[in-house]
Structure 1
């Protein structure tokens, strides 16, 4: 190792001790993601968060930065997801007259949809021979991150694997809704928003707000209720099934 290389790695180790590097890297990656997203014409299959995740992964690999070091530095950014989720109550309040008119169908639809979102992942993972830890990491894949972190820790999953599952689920949910809804003749923004929120959590909600404020409000509702409902039933079901 040359003197310049050793100096670079010492500087890198020093930066990793503070959140500065992780924050700058995250913001830079997301900025690149937005630019790529707009340059490609805002396609549903390539949201900024997906591009940003790839950019971060490549940089970590190129500079031999351990994910644990990056994750430790970006902890406070993850913490900000909680207040950001709570802030979605503003569009919910603005569109409450629409939500109030449909509260019965929403309450009848959301529980089985939230259960199915976890069950089909568990069935597929079990069929492919996944370990209990992997299954616990995939079970809350449709729940918004602040709640999913708590669920994963409670049922014994891996947070890094859970985060990957959340990203993939959000992107796939957006893609499927954009492809299938027009073919099924579904144009009601309330239905589209609710589906995006239940299945695509925060990533789907961002897409819903791109559609309209109404879609965004229903997506926020679906995401919030799915998170609360899953946080209640999934740990109980996990224990009853004997996984913990």
Structure 2
């Protein structure tokens, strides 16, 4: 029995140091989380990004796997985030006849929301005594992960912390969106898409497409515009402080 356990431990030690172990773990956990999400009729609180992230965090802690090693083995997924974001141009094109009519109001909303959302987050963190590293990581919180990582590199924010903030923002935004829509009596799919894209970026956009194509298209547009606005203005704005 002891020999069997020693052999299993040796196999485990060799396996979790393989470059693709983290990628395999991510795909398996996400698939299980997606199955749970579908089984529970797509309840927002069980969104696979939320449940999958929690499960992976617990597993990394239980198995004593360094986050740095896990992140390194998932570089392929990080690379694919960029093409996946660009591919959102397809539904944008399909819904362009709706988008064209509201482009100016969406642009105004993106400018106001793109400034207000991170400013409030940074302000609250500052009042609560947040460190400079936390404040920097919060500044690109309202843009999708590939853009946020690019901005983080420019402004000197920690990429791991920035990624966590962005994902947490997206998950919380998607989770709270049904309650917000209900309280504000917001039934227009175009406005729902704008709210999701601005406040929950990638996760919110995915949720938008689950609601209907118009919500997803407006979420894609708003997410892209917010990302572009933040990337072009944030590095220069920080120089003023």
TM-score for the superposition, normalised by structure 1: 0.92
Deviation of the 1:7 alpha carbon: 5.4
Instruction: Give the Cα–Cα distance (whole angstroms) in 1 for the partners of residues 73 and 167 of structure 2.
Output: 20
Instruction: Give the Cα–Cα distance (whole angstroms) in 2 for the partners of residues 13 and 86 of structure 1.
Output: 38
Deviation of the 1:60 alpha carbon: 1.0
Instruction: Give the Cα–Cα distance (whole angstroms) in 2 for the partners of residues 53 and 9 of structure 1.
Output: 26
2:52 corresponds in structure 1 to 52
Change (3 A) 1:20 1:109: same
* 1:200 lines up with 2:197 in the alignment: no
1:132 corresponds in structure 2 to 132
1:145 corresponds in structure 2 to 145
1:168 corresponds in structure 2 to 168
Deviation of the 1:9 alpha carbon: 5.7
Contact 1:33 1:52 in 2 (8 A): yes
Contact 1:193 1:205 in 2 (8 A): yes
Write the deviation string for residues 28-48 of structure 1: whole angstroms up to 9, x where unpaired.
110111122223332122210
DSSP 3-state at the match of 2:44: coil
Contact 1:16 1:70 in 2 (8 A): no
Larger deviation: 164-173 or 60-69?
A: 164-173
Instruction: Give the Cα–Cα distance (whole angstroms) in 2 for the partners of residues 3 and 21 of structure 1.
Output: 24
2:85 corresponds in structure 1 to 85
Contact 2:107 2:225 in 1 (8 A): no
1:237 corresponds in structure 2 to 237
Write the deviation string for residues 204-236 of structure 1: whole angstroms up to 9, x where unpaired.
001000110011000000110000100111111
Change (3 A) 1:12 1:67: farther
Structure 1 segments of 4+ aligned residues over 2 angstroms from their partners: 2-19, 38-41
2:180 corresponds in structure 1 to 180
Instruction: Give the Cα–Cα distance (whole angstroms) in 2 for the partners of residues 39 and 172 of structure 1.
Output: 21
How do 1:79-118 residues align onto structure 2 when only pairs under 5 Å count?
A: 79-118=79-118
Unaligned runs of 5+ in 2: none
Change (3 A) 1:237 1:4: farther
Write the deviation string for residues 122-180 of structure 1: whole angstroms up to 9, x where unpaired.
10110111111111111111110110001112212122221221122112212332102
Instruction: Give the Cα–Cα distance (whole angstroms) in 2 for the partners of residues 24 and 211 of structure 1.
Output: 29
* 1:39 lines up with 2:39 in the alignment: yes
Deviation of the 1:4 alpha carbon: 6.3
TM-score for the superposition, normalised by structure 2: 0.93
Deviation of the 1:21 alpha carbon: 0.5
Instruction: Give the Cα–Cα distance (whole angstroms) in 1 for the partners of residues 160 and 117 of structure 2.
Output: 20
User: Once superposed, what is the RMSD of the aligned Cα atoms?
Assistant: 1.7
State the number of aligned residues: 240
